[in-house]
């Protein structure tokens, strides 16, 4: 039981510290494009897409 508790504690600490890159504002943003994703009552619903400047990571999570 004690070993299980230690393993869970270590796992949680690693998973929390691994996401720091996406919590803090590390990069300046640039707006890359605006896309229409749906139409409701004749009005286009648009989505602004922003990407960080000078970021080397190719795949990043959306939020």
Each domain of the chain, given as residue ranges in start order, spans 24-52
Which pairs with CB-CB distance under 8 Å and at least 24 residues apart come from 31-39?
Answer: none
For residue 35, list its beta bridge partners: 47
Give pLDDT, residue 11.
76
pLDDT tens digits, one per residue of 4-63: 888 887 777 666 555 566 666 666 777 778 999 999 899 999 998 877 777 777 776 665
Of residues 45 and 3, the one with the higher pLDDT is 45
Give pTM, 2 decimals. Answer: 0.41
- DSSP reduced 3-state for 27: coil
């Amino acid at each position: 039981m004690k070993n299980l508790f230690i393993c869970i504690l270590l796992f949680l600490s690693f998973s929390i510290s691994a996401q720091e890159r996406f919590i803090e504002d590390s990069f300046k943003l640039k707006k890359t494009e605006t896309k229409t994703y749906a139409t409701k009552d004749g009005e286009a619903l648009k989505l602004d897409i922003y990407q960080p400047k000078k970021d080397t990571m190719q795949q990043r999570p959306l939020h």
